[in-house]
């Protein structure tokens, strides 16, 4: 019965929130692990004491605070669903305290490092032209890697200088294209994409060597390779360019609301992270260069 309720909840959550497959998979896994821990106890008999025991058990297995927070959010949503469908009458997670999360600033690239990364691909090669276009677009628009690799050909309008992006929860946003990225995208469309397509059919904008859609894992390794080639001594990923995009906008004076819209953040508190990065950068510069720093 527990497994059936989990499947029904995941379907409901997807239909009502439009959550990504990654989120749905994580929630399904969280609930399966919780159900297995309960053994023969049905969800209808779960109380606050049991939930607290479960989190004590997970803490002992060195579960991070962020993972604990996600699990609590998942359980709360699940028990609210059970209340709405009259399976239970009380939510055992109601008013439970979330674990305190460490505020770690993300690793981001400065402008010089972005330039080094941009110049790493060999633009005299087919693959190098594709990779340069992808990196330019990622930094130009601050895309999530999933948004980049899921772009369809009809999402990009070089003539009117914008792209249409479907972000988290399938929320659509329109983003302006910079002139440099337009040049590289135009060259990719004309010289590279037809060769990668190999007379096949694929609506994905960026293609792999096999003529199919570029995968998240493949592009992750591409970025890591170019970072090493450029001599960038930081642990970076495609998401580092999204952080760089937002940080550099804030450093140049862009208002937070505009940055929020471009990033597709539903809550401006997520965007405020980049003011913390800016403040940390200024503090470092003061300590480094001021005679009394």
Catalytic residue among 116, 164, 166, 239: 239
Q: Annotated catalytic residue: which of 130, 132, 243, 265?
A: 265
Q: Which of 130, 144, 193, 248 is catalytic?
A: 144
CA dist 26 and 20 (Å) reads 10
Could you confirm whether 265 is annotated as catalytic?
Answer: yes
Query: Residues for the chain: how many in total?
Result: 293
Q: Cα–chain-centroid distance for residue 219? A: 14
Residue 1, token pair as written in the block:
């019965």
Per-state percent for the chain, helix, strand, coil, to nearest 5:
60, 5, 30
Marked catalytic residue, from 193, 242, 243, 248: 242
Does residue 144 carry a catalytic annotation? yes
Tell me whether residue 168 is one of the annotated catalytic residues: yes
- Distance between CA atoms of residues 81 and 70, nearest Å: 17
User: Which member of 116, 168, 173, 224 is catalytic?
Assistant: 168
DSSP secondary structure letter of residue 62: T
CA nearest neighbour of 218 among 200, 237, 191: 237
Active site residue 274: yes
290 is catalytic: no
Question: At 175, phi and psi to the nearest 5?
Answer: -125, 140
281 is catalytic: no
* Residues with catalytic function: 144, 168, 239, 242, 265, 274
């Amino acid at each position: 019965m527990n497994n059936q309720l989990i499947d029904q909840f995941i379907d409901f959550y997807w239909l009502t929130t439009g959550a990504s497959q990654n989120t749905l998979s994580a929630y399904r896994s969280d609930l399966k692990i919780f159900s297995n821990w309960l053994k023969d106890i049905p969800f209808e008999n779960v109380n606050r004491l049991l939930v607290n025991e479960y989190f004590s058990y997970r803490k002992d297995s060195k579960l991070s605070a962020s993972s604990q927070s996600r699990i609590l959010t998942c359980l709360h949503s699940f028990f609210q669903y059970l209340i709405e469908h009259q399976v239970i009458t009380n939510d055992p997670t109601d008013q439970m305290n979330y674990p305190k999360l460490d505020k770690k600033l993300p690793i981001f690239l400065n402008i010089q490092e972005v330039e080094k990364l941009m110049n790493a691909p060999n633009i005299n090669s087919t693959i190098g032209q594709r990779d340069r276009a992808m990196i330019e677009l990622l930094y130009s628009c601050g895309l999530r890697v999933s948004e980049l690799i899921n772009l369809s050909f009809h999402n990009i309008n070089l003539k009117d200088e914008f792209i249409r992006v479907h972000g988290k929860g399938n929320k659509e946003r329109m983003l302006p294209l910079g002139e440099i990225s337009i040049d590289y995208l135009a060259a990719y469309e004309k010289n590279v994409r037809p060769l990668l397509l190999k007379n096949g059919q694929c609506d994905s904008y960026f293609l792999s060597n096999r003529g199919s859609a570029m995968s998240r894992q493949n592009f992750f390794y591409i970025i890591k390779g170019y970072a090493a080639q450029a001599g960038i001594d930081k642990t970076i990923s495609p998401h580092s360019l999204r952080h760089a995009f937002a940080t550099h906008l804030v450093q140049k004076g862009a208002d937070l609301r505009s940055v929020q819209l471009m990033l597709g953040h539903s809550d401006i508190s997520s965007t405020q992270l980049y003011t913390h990065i800016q403040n940390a950068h200024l503090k470092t510069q003061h300590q480094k260069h001021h005679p009394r720093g």
